[in-house]
Amino acid sequence: MSDQTETMGSWLSQEELNTVRARMPIVYVEAVPVRVNGSGEVEHVGLLLRVMPDETVSRTVVSGRVLYGERVRHALIRHLERDLGPLALPMIPPDPSPFTIAEYFPEAYISGYHDPRQHSVSLAYVVPVEGDCEPSQNALDFTWLTPEEAVSPEVVAEMTGGHDRLVRLGLAQVGSLP
């Protein structure tokens, strides 16, 4: 994500962001994109491939900060469109409720969710997506996987920071964990 993007004048410079990250938790939203059939059952889970802050390549869910003055729903839409493209057509209810709240810490052992840059609190959602998805911004690729593939040892090994746990929890929440 580019910190040079200007939205409602609420972006911090990299120096300001680093100062804030060192002193307080940052609020994020995370979305597990899914394709559902006519009965509402999850048929596919979408995962991004991106370069992480530590310069490793990892499979991940859609994720990003909530801006000052921004509604959570708008943050979800903004990050889904940023990562999956403007034609993704996410189906977000008017008042979304997270399936879990994940706390990321610089120390990996505290919660199982790890972000070496900061302590953050993330509201996580399963979001049906109906349109065409094209990776954008800093995403290298986007792949649709069956729920079985998404939680397979091979794919889990490609995820870092606890995103494998988020995918499993999200699938469990919607009754689609294999």
What's the CATH code of the domain at 74? 3.90.79.10
69 is in which domain, residue-wise? 23-173
**Rounded-to-integer distance, Cα 124 and Cα 31, Å:** 6
Within-domain flag for 148: yes
Within-domain flag for 10: no
- Model confidence pLDDT, tens digit, residues 16-73: 887 877 788 899 999 999 999 999 999 999 999 988 777 888 999 999 999 989 999 9
- Model confidence pLDDT, tens digit, residues 84-117: 999 999 999 999 999 999 999 999 899 999 998 8
Residue indicated by tokens 């199982």: 112
- Model confidence pLDDT, tens digit, residues 106-150: 998 999 999 988 899 999 999 999 999 998 877 899 999 999 999
Within-domain flag for 12: no
Within-domain flag for 136: yes
Within-domain flag for 14: no
Counting the structural domains of the chain, the total is: 1
Within-domain flag for 13: no
Within-domain flag for 165: yes
pLDDT at 4 over 50: no
Within-domain flag for 15: no
